[in-house]
Copies of this chain bind each other. A is one copy, B any other.
């Protein structure tokens, strides 16, 4: 079993077997698909609506007609989660849930008639793999990739699509450096030398108490954790700037951290083999991490009461 305890949902059919998708699915042929990752906290999907908002936005960005209403996607996720929790020992396990929507199964080729197929969906639910206590303590070791981020005029990183090779290739650079330099993940710059985002996360740095992160207009994912962290920091009267900056700014920063649904708010302690000033989680990162956790707890409590 490649992915232990996984439960799949293929167009509404819930199964613990990987029954597969058509080789003529445009997701397989062209990466012509969109996806989202939502996670549960104590059985509750705290940011589900934000992820469904973003799925709809991605669909607009690539002129894809989603095959199901938002209510159907929501219901399918919850039904599949129930099936997941009915598995032995899984009743209290939180999940990683990947929602994949493709432009459908059709005849191969570029033709108007071939491209307008009903969209298909797949859900993959599996036990969430959270960062280990050691990872939280050590912080991330990042690599600034030579590979450039996709230009938003060619393939907009704001669109969370199945064309993920740009990030895969950036990540693979860390594999190549692995023997001389242990690295966890990669960050990409654009053609102007500005830092954009990581393979699966947004990036921030802190300098003299000011929290900085690249603006959405640079061509990055509108991260849901990113958005919440900015709001939480501003509520705490921290100054947050969305600015363009070169890679050097990260190396000179007082603190660097990343955000994502899975990594939440995680400190970065080394970049390209160079120890950062803050060799462990710094005070601002720590404060934002705890604020984010607290916000999640409040959402869980609120959604539980709402049930």
Interface set of A (CB-CB < 8 Å, partner B): 2-3, 8, 10, 18-25, 27-33, 62-63, 96, 98, 100, 103, 105-110, 112, 115, 122, 124, 126, 129, 147-151, 153-155, 161-169, 171-172, 174-176, 178, 185, 191, 199-200
Contacts and interface: CB of A to CB of B under 8 A. Distances in A.
A66 B129 CA distance: 29
Q: How many copies does the complex hold?
A: 2
Most buried by B among A126, A148, A168: A168
Contact of A151 (B154, B169, B178): B154
A166 B163 contact: yes
A59 to B, nearest CB: 12
Contacts of A200: 110
Contacts of A18: 22-24
B30 A107 contact: no
A33 B30 CA distance: 9
Given A153-B148, A175-B115, A122 B23 contact: yes
A151 B23 contact: no
B109 A129 contact: yes
Contacts of A21: 20-21, 23, 28
Nearest to A116: B175
A31 B150 CA distance: 15
B161 A154 contact: no
